[in-house]
Structure 1
Amino acid sequence: MILKTLSKSNVKEVLEVLKKHEKTHFANLKKETDLPSSNLTRILKELVDTGLVENERELQGRMEISFYLLTEAGLESLNVYDFEKKIEKLIKK
């Protein structure tokens, strides 16, 4: 299921943005990825469900803010994309 999730469009982009930040909120992810809210919500839900991303909620004043951060598994999953590039280079030789 994890490979299926990682192969979906825009997932790599979301993971890379999360890697740049220790944790970040939805609005920042939306701004940096330029994805529609519905697409970003779907991707984040799937990443949380697979354990690659964690969702923390914090009260700021009266508002509850959702922050997202990579889990250790999420950080390691980025290696899949590097591995894919290596294999593609070997095939092209």
Structure 2
Amino acid sequence: MLLNIISKKNTRAVLELLRENEEMYFSEIQRELDMNLGSLNRILNELMTLNILDKRKDSEDVALPKAYYFVTDYGEKVVELYDLEKDLEKESKIINQTNIKGNVKNVVNMGDNATVNLK
């Protein structure tokens, strides 16, 4: 279930935005990502159900207290899956680039661009 939810459209953007800003309220997230209100609400609720996000309400003394969303400690670990995905994709590119005919002398990883030197 976890992978299904974090692989849904816009979920990564929501998590990365909250990770960068520590906490934000609904309209800030919606404005920053220019998302449909219903879609954003669904994503936030799904992430809270899995304890990836939580929220705190602003002072109860106001008529309409704002709810601030933030990434939980568990959510920080989940967001690291996106980092792991990036690392694995880079590694996969290097491996795929060595699947050529001939002897590979060395591969220099330069981010998304790798240099292959043949003997």
TM-score (norm 2): 0.71
Task: State the Cα distance separating 1:74 from its structure 2 match.
Answer: 1.1
Distance 2:61 2:33 in 1: 24
2:8 counterpart SS class: coil
Percentage of identical aligned residues = 31
> What is residue 37 of structure 2 aligned with on the other side?
37
Distance 1:34 1:2 in 2: 24
Query: Relative contact order (alpha carbons < 8 A, sep ≥ 6): 1 or 2 greater?
Result: 1
Task: State the Cα distance separating 1:60 from its structure 2 match.
Answer: 5.4
Task: State the Cα distance separating 1:64 from its structure 2 match.
Answer: 2.3
Deviations 1:9-44, CA, capped at 9 Å, x for gaps: 111100011112222100100011111101100000
Distance 1:85 1:60 in 2: 44
| Amino acid aligned to 2:15 | L
> What is residue 13 of structure 1 aligned with on the other side?
13
> What is residue 77 of structure 2 aligned with on the other side?
76
Gaps of 5+ in 2: 96-119
Q: Kindly indicate which of the two structures has a greater share of residues assigned to helix.
A: 1
Task: State the Cα distance separating 1:5 from its structure 2 match.
Answer: 1.2
What's the Cα RMSD here?
Answer: 1.4
Distance 2:56 2:41 in 1: 15
Deviations 1:26-75, CA, capped at 9 Å, x for gaps: 01000111111011000000000010000222335211221101101111
Task: State the Cα distance separating 1:91 from its structure 2 match.
Answer: 2.4
Matched residue count: 93
Gaps of 5+ in 1: none
> What is residue 111 of structure 2 aligned with on the other side?
none
Distance 1:60 1:36 in 2: 30
TM-score (norm 1): 0.89
